[in-house]
Amino acid sequence: ARLRSQAGYMAEAVPDGDGFLLIENHCPICRAAAACTGLCRQELEVFRAALGREVVIKRTDHILGGARRCAYSIHSEKL
């Protein structure tokens, strides 16, 4: 969350059961992402690559889908 905030996403990590929710309250690339939705898909893939195969990441909120933020549920695959 700290790294994402430094990149302009106003991010926070909130405990969520056995995992956490990564919340991005701002999207500095929103206009570009609206024109090229592949950017959002790549963001999710970068998170998956960075956190490893034993972690499950699902987008739960998406600004381009009408939500006020982007959020990702992150937890161990063993759940």
Q: What DSSP character marks residue 16?
A: E
Total-model pTM: 0.90
| 37 band by pLDDT with thresholds 50, 70 and 90 | confident
Q: What is the pLDDT of residue 25?
A: 97
Cβ atoms of 51 and 38 within 8 Å: the answer is: no
Please indicate whether residue 79 or residue 58 has the higher confidence score (pLDDT): 58
The predicted model gives 31-49 an average pLDDT of 92
Question: What are the backbone angles phi and psi of residue 78, rounded to the nearest 5°?
Answer: -75, -5
DSSP three-state, residue 23? strand
- Look at residue 79 and tell me whether its pLDDT is greater than 50: no
Degrees to nearest 5, angle at CA 31 with 27 and 33: 75
| 78 band by pLDDT with thresholds 50, 70 and 90 | low
